[in-house]
């Protein structure tokens, strides 16, 4: 399977009902003598809430956004990509097991467009078919899936359910939307952020690459969009 716009397949399956109000409540609770549930009962103007929330976020009081949790389903994503994703320690994961799920026939895999455009696609596909054949042979001979999987490549796709709070989501975006992040994880995070921003447009200014906030680049090799900061 060649990289295409459909992959990875991402769905936002759970999101807070009113994240702005939840964050506003968290902020106000810190600075108010009132009981939080009383603050919550008040019908507050969204503009007023947004003003306070932006101010508090600007000040770095980021625990207030940890109360908002998002859950996504992800499929059609390579093991190369999920290996990078699971490095994020404040995310929760449930990933398709290569121990308990035995691949049958040709496993699903991704062909990067660079391979496709290089003219090596045929050889690439032949190698995947050979791996699948050998994997099948091992399974037939009674080798457990947990050992047969040793031959599966990074290109093999996976599926997962992942949850994270808004603080981690922003961190993830800041790191992985940078053009220096690997293209597949960048595409994945773009899709995840896009789904959140669709629901909460005000979050758009936070779910960006780190340089969009700082207005400078701290990467060794920048893309030129913002001036490089010499460390």
Ligand X SMILES: Cc1cc2nc3c(=O)[nH]c(=O)nc-3n(C[C@H](O)[C@H](O)[C@H](O)COP(=O)(O)OP(=O)(O)OC[C@H]3O[C@@H](n4cnc5c(N)ncnc54)[C@H](O)[C@@H]3O)c2cc1C
Nearer to ligand X, 1 or 179 (CB): 179
Considering only residues 88-107, where is the footprint of ligand X by CB under 6 A? 88-90
Q: What is the DSSP letter of 109?
A: B
Which positions ≥6 away from 195 have C-beta within 8 Å? 10, 11, 12, 72
Interface segment toward ligand X; rule CB under 6 A; list 35-43, 44-52, 63-71, 175-183: 175-183
Distance CA 160, CA 104 (A): 19
Rounded least distance, CB 91 to ligand X, Å: 7
Contact between 175 and ligand X (CB under 6 A)?
yes
Contact between 87 and ligand X (CB under 6 A)?
yes
The footprint of ligand X on this chain (CB under 6 A) covers a number of residues equal to 10
Interface segment toward ligand X; rule CB under 6 A; list 58-66, 94-102, 103-111, 176-184: 176-184
Contact between 69 and ligand X (CB under 6 A)?
no
Q: Which of 28, 79, 149, 176 is catalytic?
A: 176
Considering only residues 179-198, where is the footprint of ligand X by CB under 6 A? 180-181
Distance CA 37, CA 150 (A): 53
> In the annotation, is 137 catalytic?
no
Interface segment toward ligand X; rule CB under 6 A; list 13-21, 25-33, 86-94, 137-145: 86-94
List the strands of the sheet with 69-78, edge to edge.
Answer: 9-14, 69-78, 157-165, 92-95
Rounded least distance, CB 88 to ligand X, Å: 3
Buried b / exposed e along 69-97 (16+ C-beta atoms within 10 A):
bbebebbbbbbbbbebbeebeebeeebee
CB burial of residue 139 (10 Å; 0-12, 13-18, 19+): middle
Rounded least distance, CB 164 to ligand X, Å: 9
Distance CA 183, CA 177 (A): 9
CB burial of residue 149 (10 Å; 0-12, 13-18, 19+): buried
Interface segment toward ligand X; rule CB under 6 A; list 5-13, 46-54, 85-93, 136-144: 85-93
Note the residues at the interface with ligand X (CB under 6 A): 87-90, 168, 171, 175-176, 180-181
Active-site residue numbers? 176
């Amino acid at each position: 399977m060649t990289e295409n716009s459909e992959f990875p397949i991402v769905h936002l399956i759970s999101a807070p009902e009113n994240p702005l109000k939840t964050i506003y409540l968290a902020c106000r609770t810190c600075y108010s003598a009132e009981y939080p549930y009383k603050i919550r009962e008040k019908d507050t103007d969204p503009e007023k809430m947004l003003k306070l929330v932006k101010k508090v976020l600007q000040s770095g009081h980021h625990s207030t956004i940890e109360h908002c949790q998002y859950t996504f389903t992800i499929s059609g994503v390579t093991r190369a990509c999920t290996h990078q994703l699971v490095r994020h320690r404040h995310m929760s994961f449930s990933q398709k097991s290569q121990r308990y799920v035995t691949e049958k026939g040709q496993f699903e895999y991704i062909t990067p467009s660079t391979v496709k455009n290089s003219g090596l696609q045929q050889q690439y596909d032949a190698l995947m078919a050979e791996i699948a054949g050998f994997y099948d042979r091992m399974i037939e001979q009674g080798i457990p899936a947990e050992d047969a999987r040793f031959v599966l490549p990074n290109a093999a796709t996976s599926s997962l359910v992942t949850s994270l709070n808004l603080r981690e989501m922003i961190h993830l975006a800041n790191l992985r939307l940078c053009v220096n992040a690997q293209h597949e994880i960048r595409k994945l995070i773009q899709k995840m952020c896009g789904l959140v921003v669709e629901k909460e447009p005000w979050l758009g200014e936070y779910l960006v690459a780190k340089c969009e906030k700082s207005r400078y680049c701290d990467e060794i090799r920048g893309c030129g969009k913002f001036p490089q900061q010499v460390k």
